[in-house]
């Protein structure tokens, strides 16, 4: 669950700088640094790109290139609840597309987007490697196995209530 | 020196010469798009594919980047090579239907019909602009972003890059003319990827350069 | 305390010490804590055991162990009680007190927790008799159930690092490479290149700095054996890598693990730390003049980073865009230096070959494909899990003897192997023996070992479209054939599954497929058309049904199916009415209901909800 948001630029720049201190200023650590930032802030705020570029002696365009190439990074803030649906082949043959459509219908967003009220982010993920539980939906790190399009709405509502 | 054969003709060239350069020495034409003589080869557009037989193995390789080897046999115009070239062009034309260079190549290579739905793009993603900015100009103001069919070129966040010096090299090397550099005489601005820059005088020569007014935005918290 | 071992003899002594301190007759409760079982609550089950043992005053007498993946994922959480190896499946927290009271204290078996063989209806008590395991040969994977992956001493006790000790005290680089070559080991990541030959090429390259890399970017959807090895027995992979580094002359190594595998990252990191502590990594390993250490890199969500040159670019901090070859990584790899990359399973095979010898190893499997292979058997199969079998096993046996057949008595239709780079093998080829060449000959490939089983309700056209959408999403976008060609193929298939297929579509797909496979820059694009090619080859009828008749025989493609309510079966319980998200169902309570086809979105919720099978799927 995302609880931390950028509140003021000064605090965060200091936070980012101390995170960057952990690394030798070598371009090979670009991905690792972005992963740490993503884990800390749950997305990559624009403001951080320049700091990272300066620290590593890279052009800004290179940082942007890497940040947009990899799925692990998000340039948009995520919602409070993260819903990940495994789209691995095993889950697919057991009926994942129906569940994706159902969720898109319920939340009124496409996969990859966040609801306007910032409550939910819906994303499809490549195989999580828990194929025996397929179709698999993970909500805020909690695994919901053997999901169906009939059960998903209730599972979502229950989760929301439990985490209130 | 390495000895090889291209379309039956023998030639001897220095080690690390590419098949394309060796072919040029023999006056054999191979069409290219992402290749430029002063930029490191990329092997991405796949228009320059030729058939080679190496270690008794036959395969299609990008001549612009494939190094010669002793005894290499190259065939630049087999039926298969021609079909492959045509398909590459057909796909690129579907992507950029209005590109003059693609239309010219199409008529040259005999691509008469495009069987795919046309898109409305100018850029064939050859990457010459990005590679030139990185290797020749040495700045890297623009780069690729995203991947797959969402891949694009441009400055980060699609906003004018402060380190861009407005040299216009990217526009110069672009084969399709997708990069438009227009100078508006009244106000000293250059339009560049739809992001207006403001020019300031160069400290040294007094000529115009670009003002890094845009980067400070990145440090403001906006959404 | 300095644990660092300074010669191989010390390792032998240490092993004897550890074994001496263990009581093989002591009762030990092992709980599988791989990702699959953990997701089903294995962590809670283990905690419950620890609590219960304490409650009953048994914590000093009874040992517990969290192990890595046992492979029978369908039946998790799995509990195996040693020394008898009593096998309990689908154990929940509620069962724990009874297990302790009855089985641990009184030696009574709890029948409801036993695995029931579906054919004989017999209850199986011991792990080795469970058919899923009985037909396997778990040379590599078998150790997962015996060790706690975060305890190097468990690994050492089983003989771990003895291969490394042997290599350092008795073998030269050429001996090792020759041994690996003679074993016939082939790369277990995809293409099956002979491993010994690969090592030899890198060894011969000039240069003081060489690297070895472990490719742990297991991206094939449906494949999770690499994950389970890294989580469950990381030292087996590490030992293989250290031996490889010694043979090739590498001083530094990297392991690249997928970001989506946090437990694998954690357990491997612990393994690295412990290996350093005990002197298996670092300077003067086991007192020799061989020094080697490793770093761990996490992937960042890009399937293309499983490609060698893409992976190298990612370790260098760049985007994972492959580059044309030559030069090959063995010649110019990481930072332009000679680099040898192998898959997780390939490295894990190395200690086994060194310990038991190439001759022993080469007797397993087939003439061209030696050794065992670990497959992930998933999809429409009763026994979902990880299976290790000798190369050459019959597909029929995988599906029925080990896999337990298709659920709900449905008909087996096809099996997809090799992930998005592979193809679908139809039921007519069920007598196929599985090895590298056999799979390639039928149009598929071994790949990383994923085996997705499909039944009569799987649409092969939809499946081909699915794989292309995956490849499209994962393409780096650099070269024209993959970026443009895969996209256009996907579009044709989307039109076909939407009921808008036209005459000539199959021919166009074939043409594009041939082009993309020949002209792409790397193997991602090069193999992307394989699912389409096998679907056209073996399921042409099904393709034509979609195009000409606008029908989906498997009942999957929404545009070509319809749901309707059978008035004879419907008793008007109103459940579908309440569940329908589109409000497309009408009917009075206790009277037959009906679906308004104009409003119906084919979501299938009514079909799933109806308890009377009154909702019919019309294809």
Which CATH number do you get for residue B44?
A: 3.10.20.740
Q: Do C475 and B150 touch (CB under 8 A)?
A: no
Boundary-marking domain end, from B66, B91, B109: B109
Residue-level length of chain C: 619
pLDDT at A118: 87
Contacts of C454 in chain A (CB under 8 A): 93
B141 has pLDDT over 70: yes
Contacts of C513 in chain B (CB under 8 A): none
pLDDT at B189: 44
Q: Are strands B208-211 and B198-201 parallel, antiparallel or unpaired?
A: antiparallel
Question: Which chain C residues have any C-beta within 8 angstroms of a chain B C-beta?
Answer: 302, 304, 319, 323-324, 326, 472-481, 483-485, 487-488, 491, 508, 511-512, 515, 518-521
Separation CA A60–CA B164 (nearest Å) = 11
Q: Where are the domains of chain A?
A: 9-69, 81-162
Separation CA C387–CA B38 (nearest Å) = 53
Q: Are residues B153 and B68 in the same domain?
A: no
Q: Is C591 helix (H, G, I), strand (E, B) or coil?
A: coil
**B166 backbone φψ class: left, alpha, beta (φ>0; ψ -120 to 50):** left
Q: Do C303 and A126 touch (CB under 8 A)?
A: yes
C518 has pLDDT over 50: yes
Q: What percent of chain A clears pLDDT 90, i.e. is strictly above it? A: 49
The closest CB to that of C519, out of B60, B146, B150, belongs to: B60
Separation CA C134–CA C125 (nearest Å) = 13
* Contact call for residues C169 and C287 (beta carbons, < 8 A): no
Under the banding of pLDDT at 50, 70 and 90, the label for residue A2 is very low
B neighbours by CB contacts (3+ pairs under 8 Å): A, C
B8-35 confidence digits (pLDDT tens): 999 999 999 999 999 999 999 999 999 9
DSSP C293: E
pLDDT at B42: 97
pLDDT at B182: 63
pLDDT at A11: 58
Q: Where are the domains of chain C?
A: 25-82+86-125, 152-361, 372-455, 460-549, 561-618
Separation CA C606–CA C610 (nearest Å) = 6
Reference A147, options A157, A137, A132; nearest CA is A137
C478 vs A162: which has the higher pLDDT: C478
The superfamily CATH assigns to domain C152-361 is: NADH-ubiquinone oxidoreductase 51kDa subunit (3.40.50.11540)
Q: Do B157 and A59 touch (CB under 8 A)?
A: no
Its ipTM equals 0.91
Residue-level length of chain B: 223
The CATH code of domain C372-455 reads 3.10.20.600
Domain C460-549: CATH architecture, name and number where available? Up-down Bundle (1.20)
pLDDT at B185: 42
C245 has pLDDT over 60: yes
Least Cα separation, residue A67 to chain C (angstroms)? 9
pLDDT at C473: 94
A123-127, C314-318, C407-411, C529-533: segment of lowest average pLDDT: A123-127
B43-77 confidence digits (pLDDT tens): 999 999 999 998 889 999 999 999 999 999 999 99
pLDDT at B216: 42
* Contact call for residues C290 and C249 (beta carbons, < 8 A): no
Size of interface B-C (CB pairs under 8 A): 88
Structure tokens at C201: 């090429």
C567 has pLDDT over 70: yes
Mean pLDDT of A94-119: 91
Domain A81-162: CATH architecture, name and number where available? 3-Layer(aba) Sandwich (3.40)
B200-204, C68-72, C207-211: segment of lowest average pLDDT: B200-204
Domain C25-82+86-125 annotated CATH 3.50.50.60: no
C93-109 confidence digits (pLDDT tens): 999 999 999 999 999 99
Q: Do C521 and B83 touch (CB under 8 A)?
A: no
Q: What percent of chain B clears pLDDT 70, i.e. is strictly above it? A: 81
B60: contact with C, CB 8 A cutoff:
yes
Which chain A residue has the Cα nearest residue B142? A61
Structure tokens at C481: 């054939």
Which chain B residue has the Cα nearest residue A7? B221
List the domain range (segments joined by +) for residue B77. 2-109
B222 has pLDDT over 60: no
pLDDT at B207: 58
Global pTM?
Answer: 0.92
C176-199 confidence digits (pLDDT tens): 999 999 999 999 998 899 999 999
Mean pLDDT of B93-112: 95
C448-462 confidence digits (pLDDT tens): 999 999 999 999 999
B12 within domain boundaries: yes
B206-219 confidence digits (pLDDT tens): 555 544 444 444 44
Looking at the structure of chain B, the number of domains it has is 2
């Amino acid at each position: 669950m995302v609880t931390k948001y950028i509140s003021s630029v000064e605090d965060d720049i200091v936070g980012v700088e101390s995170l960057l201190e952990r690394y030798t200023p070598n371009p090979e650590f670009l991905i690792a640094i972005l992963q740490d930032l993503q884990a800390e802030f749950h997305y990559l705020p624009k403001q951080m790109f320049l700091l990272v570029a300066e620290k590593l002696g890279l052009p800004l365009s290179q940082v942007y290139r890497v940040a947009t190439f990899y799925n692990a990074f998000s340039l948009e803030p995520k919602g409070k609840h993260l819903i990940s649906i495994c789209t691995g082949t095993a889950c697919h043959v057991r009926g994942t597309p129906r569940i994706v459509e159902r969720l898109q219908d319920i939340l009124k967003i496409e996969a990859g987007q966040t609801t306007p009220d910032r409550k939910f982010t819906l994303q499809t993920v490549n195989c999580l490697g828990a194929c025996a539980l397929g179709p698999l939906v993970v909500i805020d790190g909690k695994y919901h196995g053997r999901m169906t399009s009939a059960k998903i709405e209730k599972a979502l509502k229950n989760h929301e209530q439990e985490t209130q | 020196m390495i000895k090889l054969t291209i379309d039956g003709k023998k030639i001897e060239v220095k080690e690390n010469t590419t098949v394309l350069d060796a072919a040029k020495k023999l006056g054999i034409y191979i069409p290219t798009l992402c290749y430029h003589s002063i930029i490191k080869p990329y092997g991405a557009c796949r228009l320059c594919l030729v058939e080679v037989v190496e270690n008794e193995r036959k395969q299609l390789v990008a001549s612009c980047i494939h190094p010669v080897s002793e005894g290499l046999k190259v065939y630049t115009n087999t039926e298969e090579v021609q079909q492959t070239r045509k398909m590459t062009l057909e796909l690129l034309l579907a992507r950029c239907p209005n590109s003059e260079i693609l239309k010219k190549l199409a008529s040259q290579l005999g691509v008469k019909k495009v069987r795919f739905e046309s898109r409305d793009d100018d850029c064939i993603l050859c990457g010459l602009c990005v590679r030139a900015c990185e290797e020749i100009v040495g700045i890297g103001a623009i780069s690729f972003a995203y991947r797959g069919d969402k891949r694009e070129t441009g400055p980060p966040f699609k906003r004018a890059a402060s380190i861009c010096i407005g040299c216009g090299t990217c526009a110069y090397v672009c084969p399709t003319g997708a990069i438009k550099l227009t100078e508006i005489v009244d106000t000293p601005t250059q339009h560049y990827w739809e992001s207006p820059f403001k020019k300031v005088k160069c400290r040294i020569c007094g000529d115009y350069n670009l003002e890094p007014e845009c980067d400070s935005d990145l440090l403001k918290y906006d959404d | 305390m300095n644990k660092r071992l300074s010669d191989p003899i010390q390792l032998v002594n240490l092993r004897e010490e550890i074994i001496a301190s263990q009581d093989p007759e002591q009762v030990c409760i092992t709980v599988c804590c791989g990702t699959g079982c953990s997701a089903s609550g294995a962590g809670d089950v283990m905690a419950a055991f620890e609590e219960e043992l304490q409650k009953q005053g048994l914590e000093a007498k009874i040992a517990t162990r969290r192990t890595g993946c046992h492979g029978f994922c369908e039946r998790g959480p799995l509990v195996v009680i040693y020394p008898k190896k009593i096998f309990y499946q689908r154990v929940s927290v509620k069962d724990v007190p009874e297990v302790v009271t009855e089985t641990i204290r009184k030696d009574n078996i709890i029948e409801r927790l036993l695995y029931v063989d579906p054919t004989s209806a017999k209850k199986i008590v011991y792990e080795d008799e469970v058919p899923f395991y009985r037909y396997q040969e778990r040379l590599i994977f078998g150790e997962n159930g015996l060790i706690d992956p975060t305890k190097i001493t468990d690994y050492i006790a089983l003989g771990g690092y003895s291969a490394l000790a042997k290599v350092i005290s008795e073998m030269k680089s050429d001996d090792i490479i020759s041994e690996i070559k003679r074993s016939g080991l082939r790369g277990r990541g995809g293409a099956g290149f002979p491993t010994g030959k690969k090592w030899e090429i890198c060894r011969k390259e000039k240069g003081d700095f060489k690297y070895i890399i472990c490719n742990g970017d297991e991206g094939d959807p449906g494949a999770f054996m690499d994950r389970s090895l890294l989580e469950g027995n990381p030292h087996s992979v590490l030992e293989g890598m250290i031996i490889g580094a010694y043979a090739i002359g590498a001083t530094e190594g990297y392991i690249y693990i997928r970001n989506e595998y946090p437990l694998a990252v954690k357990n491997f990191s612990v393994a690295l730390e412990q290996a350093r502590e005990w002197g298996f990594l670092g300077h003067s390993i086991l007192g020799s003049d061989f020094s080697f250490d490793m770093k761990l890199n996490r992937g960042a969500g890009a399937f293309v980073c499983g490609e060698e040159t893409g992976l190298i670019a990612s370790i260098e901090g760049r985007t994972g865009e492959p580059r044309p070859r030559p030069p090959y990584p063995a010649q110019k790899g990481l930072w332009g230096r000679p680099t040898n990359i192998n898959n997780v399973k390939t490295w894990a095979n190395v200690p086994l070959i060194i310990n038991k010898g190439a001759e022993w190893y080469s007797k397993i499997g087939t003439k061209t494909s030696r050794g065992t292979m670990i497959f992930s058997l998933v999809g429409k199969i009763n026994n979902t899990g990880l299976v290790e079998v000798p190369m050459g096993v019959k597909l029929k046996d995988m599906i029925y003897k080990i896999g337990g057949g298709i659920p709900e008595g449905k008909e087996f239709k096809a099996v997809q192997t090799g992930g998005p780079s592979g193809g679908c093998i139809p039921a007519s080829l069920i007598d196929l023996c599985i090895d590298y060449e056999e799979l390639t000959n039928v149009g598929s490939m071994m790949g990383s070992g994923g085996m997705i089983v499909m039944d009569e309700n799987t649409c092969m056209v939809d499946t081909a479209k699915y794989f292309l959408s995956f490849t499209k999403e994962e393409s780096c976008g650099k070269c024209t054939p993959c970026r443009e060609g895969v996209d256009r193929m996907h579009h044709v298939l989307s039109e076909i599954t939407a009921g808008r297929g036209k005459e000539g579509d199959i021919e166009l797909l074939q043409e594009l497929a041939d082009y993309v496979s020949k002209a792409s820059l790397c193997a991602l694009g090069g193999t992307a058309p394989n699912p389409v090619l096998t679907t056209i080859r073996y399921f042409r009828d099904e393709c034509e049904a979609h195009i000409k008749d606008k029908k989906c025989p498997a009942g999957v493609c929404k545009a070509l199916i319809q749901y309707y309510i059978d008035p004879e079966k419907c008793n008007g319980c109103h459940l579908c009415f309440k569940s329908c998200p589109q409000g497309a169902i009408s009917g009075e309570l206790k009277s037959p209901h009906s679906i308004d086809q104009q409003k119906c979105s084919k979501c299938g919720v009514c079909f799933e909800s109806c308890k009377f099978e009154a909702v019919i799927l019309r294809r």
